[in-house]
Chains A and B, each alone.
Chain A
Amino acid sequence: MKVLDVQGLCVQYHTEKKNQSKAGDAGSETLHGVSFSVEEGEIVGLVGESGSGKSTAMLAVMGLLKGKAEVSFERMSLCGEAPVPGRNAAMVFQDAQSCLNPTVKVGRQIAETIRARRGCGRKEARERAEELLDQVGIHNPRLRMKQYPFELSGGMRQRVVIAAALACEPKLIIADEPTTALDVAVQAQIILLLKRIVRETGTSLLLVSHDMGVTAALCSRVYVMRQGRIAEYGTAEEIFYSPREAYTRRLLRDAKGFRRLSAGGKERRPLLEIRYLTKEFDTMEGIRDVSLEIFEGETFALAGESGSGKTTLARILSGILTEDSGEILYRGERLERKRSGSVCGGKIQMVFQDPYAALNPCLTAGQALEEALRGAGRISGKELTREERRERIGAVLEQAGLRREDADRYPREFSGGQRQRICIARALITEPELLICDEALSSLDAGAREQILSLLLEIQKERGIACLFISHDMHVVRQVSDRIGVMYGGSLVEAGRTKDVCSDPWHPYTKQLIESVPEPDPLKAAKLKSVPVTETPVREGRGSLLSPKKLPPVGCPFAGRCGYALECCASEAPGSRRFGSREIRCFLYSEAHSGKRSEGYEMTSQI
């Protein structure tokens, strides 16, 4: 039986209200006669690049475009009725953080939905909300109910949002990029949760995603959207194994990764060496005894879940933070920290995650660039004349894919992707030798992400800049990096050539991390496994939260979650061992575990 049946859906945005919400940002995006349907208890995927109209279609179905766009259709029925949000349809959005009201307890945010739906009393609603939280896999729901969204982890927030959606007892749940903002490990959990929810409650699920892997892991039928039209549809097997349209084939090719786009470092001279770097915090992610080297012109990726210390490491390298102990060698010399905090006269530059926050709204693009240039000039003692500076700014803007005239425009006049280009131009203008990209792509949509990625690679190829690329997105990491370092709990647990590490992980954590990335292949993705994730502790009574990020005093940070943990793992920190190009911190690779080795012994994966 068809649960949702949509025929000939057309949407035309009102053009005058450009600065309306996110949906309105799409501006001229329109739908031209889109038709799709969902069967009972079925998971249907809607894929396509950003800007193809996926989200618009969903908002139109939910009737949430009122006042923003003109919506017309030949047929729109949900079990024979019009879709009414909260009554027969519910929606889960991408960013669980912004979907929950920050000042209202999560329990109430679920219970109010139940009350609005059933018109029942507070107590009954509260009991039902507890049941729902339990159903979406939140332990200790009674205590969690009393917490505020900011006290929960990202994965847990998304679970709360799913619980709130379930509270409507909907016939259909629309999930708009439900896992895009999450770590791979958490993403795998949410995928499995959605699958279980559909099986248990018999509701239908319409998944909107740009991620072919997630789609393959969940959906039995897939619609491919392009420029406001359905380009192709069919069962998951048809779409993934024998796509008809060139567009679909391109999406699949992009998703398969391993494109070896990287410029590759031929000279093997170390640019940056980090030795036993340690920084501890009470409340933030710290790092402990991290040693790694980055060679000239190569791309080194740092992967790991949030809170693993990636950002802390990047901030120490860029001079925003200072290390507690350990040393950093730049071209064999100890890094000197200037009073201004900047290091090496702008030879190490950083591109941040959020291009909206990283640019001063009161400075034009040109002024922001000039500031960076002057700062670097002051350190290196080379002051440029006004004309020289102008010329440099123009040149670097062009290189970043913008126009010279854009120097006089303010950040608000640019889109997210363009702003990130300004940030890249700002980093490039001091002619750095190492570019640190801290999640530089995560806040961009898929289309802009692709463009910025190719821009970075192009620049790297041209200038031979080394790049420290920090990301939680394993797809991107695999595409861009020559070598990869995997961090967990403030330790660098494994490092090596990206190809080796991704195809044959040695460390138990790396293995979990790689396995939790869904492949764009329905058969493989069906085997997706869940990975346990550290949960933020529940606040007991009225006391403050225990700081969850504090490093365990001794032992391997992964010991508590590791299936291979030995006795020594909890009491002693494993030292770093090197086998060829690979470096690993795990007792499985110690001589005590695998026995004495002869000269020519070649280590293989122990797991």
Chain B
Amino acid sequence: MLRYTMKRVLTGVLSLFVLATVTFFLVRLIPGSPFQRGGVSSQVVEAVEEEYGLNEPMLDQYLTYMGSLLRGDMGISYQDPGTEVAEIIGRAWPITASLGITALAAAMILGTALGVIRAVAENRALREIISAGSMLAAGIPSFAAAILLMLLFSVKLRMLPASGLLSPVHYILPTAALSLYPAAVISRLTGNTLRAELQKDYVLFARAKGLGKWRTIFTHALKNAYLPVLSYAGPASASLLTGSFVIESIFTIPGLGREFVSSVTNRDYTLILGLTVFMGTVVIAVNLLTDLLCAWLDPRMRRAYREEDV
């Protein structure tokens, strides 16, 4: 198991290296210089480029950058010369992550609860309502949901604040907008897999052993039903943790997503690279965690990983 994890970490590092390399050359393909502005003369631009080492051969720049990246130094932002890239990430990510984790928790709890209800409810109307509701929710794009929620709760009812993340109350609307889609998908997945699981013989046997209905569902069926849900929730949480540009723009949240988009439009090479490598790290880490979580739930998978060790 440890061997497997190490192998995954190693391949993760390799992927990050490839990611950094490809991004490094790609950003330099964007037409124009990072320092070109309307009123700036070309001499000034050249002087600044020289200052930043952009006139050196591409390969030298690459080696210098990778060298400092290995030392953990992501450089300074071109647009905002006073601040380091690490500082920008350090500022923006806690905001994005706190929102992402809240949204993830909301999606998991709500989705699982609705899924379980849909799988076990005897009332047919209730099942149908949940089913139709989750289908509708999965069909609304997050920006539409965000704007609709804002219109209703902030503009019409004036109940909730429309922008910023100053207090817990501010979290409600963006969390709702972010978690709507994953919650819908999780509830559909949980409902379907749990219903299939409940038809299996071991559930009948558990009931014949004298376990109660809810005990059977929670200690036996849900564990097996959750495996497919996890393999969706893993990548979904990675995207929640790296921030959504759309939601962050609508609710004016100074998060990672917004930084990322502005860095691209500004051709801020170091910031683009830094953010890409950082987000890549988050995605790889979250996927590894998901796989380990699945292995923790499913002994058969654990055994397969262990056999890989030998």
Contacts and interface: CB of A to CB of B under 8 A. Distances in A.
Contact of B300 (A86, A90, A148, A168): A148
A112 interface: yes
A103 B210 contact: no
Interface in A7-47: 20-22
B37 interface: no
A148 B299 contact: yes
B201 A103 contact: no
B202 A98 contact: yes
A104 B210 contact: no
A85 B299 contact: no
Contacts of B204: 21, 64, 93, 99
Interface in B170-190: none
Interface string B269-310: 000000000000000000000000000011110010011011
Contacts of A112: 209, 211, 219
A225 to B, nearest CB: 21
A84 B209 CA distance: 10
A311 interface: no
The interface centre, meaning the residue of B220, B224, B299 with most chain A CB atoms within 10 A of its CB, is B299
B229 to A, nearest CB: 14
A101 B202 contact: yes
B200 interface: yes
Contacts of B297: 103
B299 A98 contact: no
B158 interface: no
Given A93-B201, A150-B300, A87 B210 contact: yes
A85 B199 contact: no
A242 to B, nearest CB: 36
Contacts of A105: 299
A117 interface: yes
B299 A99 contact: no
B208 A85 contact: yes
Contacts of B208: 62, 64, 85-86, 90-91, 93, 165
A103 B227 CA distance: 11
B205 A161 contact: yes
A48 to B, nearest CB: 21
Given A86-B208, A165-B209, A99 B202 contact: yes
B28 interface: no
B206 interface: yes
Contact of B306 (A167, A168, A544): A544
A116 B220 CA distance: 14
A85 B207 contact: yes
Most chain A beta carbons < 10 A, residue from B205, B219, B298? B205
A296 B206 CA distance: 51
B7 interface: no
Contact of A102 (B207, B211, B215, B224): B224
A451 to B, nearest CB: 25
B interface: dominant SS: helix
Interface residues of A, number: 35
A113 B223 contact: no
Interface in A100-137: 100-105, 112-113, 116-117
Contact of B206 (A101, A102, A148, A150): A101
Contacts of B219: 104, 112
B307 A544 contact: yes
B122 interface: yes
A407 interface: no
A21 B298 contact: no
Contacts of A67: 122
A219 interface: no
A549 to B, nearest CB: 14
B299 to A, nearest CB: 4
B101 to A, nearest CB: 27
Given A112-B219, A116-B215, A544-B303, A93 B205 contact: yes
- From B122, B208, B224, B310, residue with most partner A Cβ within 10 Å: B208
B220 A104 contact: yes
Contacts of A85: 207-210
Interface string A67-102: 100000000000000001111001101010011111
Contacts of B303: 150-151, 544
Given A20-B199, A22-B201, A93-B204, A86 B224 contact: no
Interface string B210-227: 111001000110011000
Nearest to B198: A21
A102 B300 contact: yes
A164 B209 CA distance: 7
Nearest to A87: B210
Given A150-B300, A544-B303, A544-B307, A91 B210 contact: no
A148 to B, nearest CB: 4
A540 to B, nearest CB: 13
Contact of A103 (B122, B207, B224, B307): B224
A98 B199 CA distance: 11
Nearest to A97: B201
Contacts of B209: 85-86, 90, 112-113, 116, 164-165, 167-168
A103 B298 contact: yes
Interface in B93-126: 122
A107 to B, nearest CB: 13
A101 B210 contact: no
Contacts of A20: 199
17 contacts: A85-B210, A86-B209, A87-B210, A90-B209, A91-B208, A98-B202, A101-B224, A102-B202, A102-B298, A103-B223, A113-B211, A148-B299, A151-B303, A164-B209, A165-B209, A167-B209, A544-B310
Interface of B: 122, 199-202, 204-212, 215, 219-220, 223-224, 297-300, 303, 306-307, 309-310
Q: 4 shortest A-B CB distances, which residue pairs?
A: A86-B210, A98-B201, A99-B205, A91-B208
Given A22-B201, A62-B208, A102-B298, 13 more contacts: A20-B199, A21-B199, A85-B207, A91-B208, A98-B200, A101-B223, A103-B223, A103-B299, A116-B210, A161-B205, A165-B208, A168-B209, A544-B307
